[in-house]
Amino acid sequence: MPFPDIDPIAFSLGPFVVRWYALAYITGFLGGWWLARRIAAAPALWGKTPRPDKEQIDDLIVWVALGVIIGGRLGYVLFYDFASYLGRPHEILFVWQGGMSFHGGLLGALFGCFLFARSRGLIGLSMLDLVAVAAPIGLFFGRIANFINGELWGRPAPDFPFAVIFPHGGPLPRYPSQLFEAATQGLALFVVMLIALAVTGLRRPGMLAGIFAIGYAAARIFCEFFREPDPQLGFLMGDWLTMGMLLSLPLALAGMAVIIAARRGLTGPGAPPPREAPSP
């Protein structure tokens, strides 16, 4: 299939240019903000867990957005292209040129959630739960924007009936791996998170964040088998292990640990205090 002729620029007003990628970020944040406000306004989902009011959700989204952008950019530089940026460190600030890491953005969002919660007297893991439910919205639109930009394409797939010849991907037809990621990390994970929200609510801080971590890691590792690795890194082992897989493994383990702690009641407002060392 030929690549669809979609201009990466959505519209322009004189010198002001708006790209689909920027609109994807904006749509993701707005969708997450709307959903988080709805969840915060449902006391039955929270039980005894302190919940933010709608005004605090407005502030939380700003903290998370800053964390995602800063963490995503620094994560890309450190995880995917560190040697190259050593020679041109000023270009780390050129976010409009592309280059964002989900795992770095996740770390940035985590710091944003915990710093915000500490400043408002809330539970950091609960704020992370809110973000976990809303995050697949941004992932879905972000991967669609990757497809429109003709970037992060898949591995060669000459026998796949819906393979795409990307403008900068050479003459070989390739897997539309961006759409695979949109379907799994976006739509499917969003359904999983909504079901988990309905079943568990936010009464066990960290439970939803752990489910998201495991779900995203599984979807990312699956999709990496269809996605072409970054050219500056290539495969880390054989012809299968990629940086995306490697970074997803500790994410899944962290998700399991948080779920176990949440199930044991170690993360909630009534969690037992840490044991003090016996006096000598």
The tens digit of pLDDT for each residue in 54-68 reads: 999 999 999 999 999
150 φ, ψ to 5°? 65, 40
Judged against a pLDDT cut of 70, whether residue 271 lies above it is answered with: no
Classify each residue of 183-196 as buried b or exposed e, where b means 16 or more C-beta atoms within 10 Å of its C-beta: ebbbeebbebbeeb
Question: Distances from the Cα of 143 to the Cαs of 21, 90, 102, 104, 148, in angstroms?
Answer: 9, 27, 11, 16, 9
| Predicted local confidence at residue 98, as pLDDT | 67
Distance, in Å, from the CA atom of 161 to the CA atom of 101, rounded to the nearest integer, reads 30
The tens digit of pLDDT for each residue in 86-141 reads: 877 877 777 666 678 989 999 999 999 999 999 999 999 999 999 999 999 999 99
Position of tokens 């969840």?
A: 39
Judged against a pLDDT cut of 50, whether residue 80 lies above it is answered with: yes
Q: Which residues pair with 227 in a beta bridge?
A: 154
Closest listed residue to residue 192, CA positions, set 225, 217, 215: 215
Query: Average pLDDT, stretch 194-215?
Result: 97
**Binning pLDDT at 50, 70 and 90, where does residue 280 land?**
very low
Query: Average pLDDT, stretch 208-230?
Result: 97
**Binning pLDDT at 50, 70 and 90, where does residue 275 land?**
low
Judged against a pLDDT cut of 60, whether residue 276 lies above it is answered with: no
Single pTM value for the model: 0.89
Question: Distances from the Cα of 254 to the Cαs of 19, 31, 131, in angstroms?
Answer: 35, 26, 16
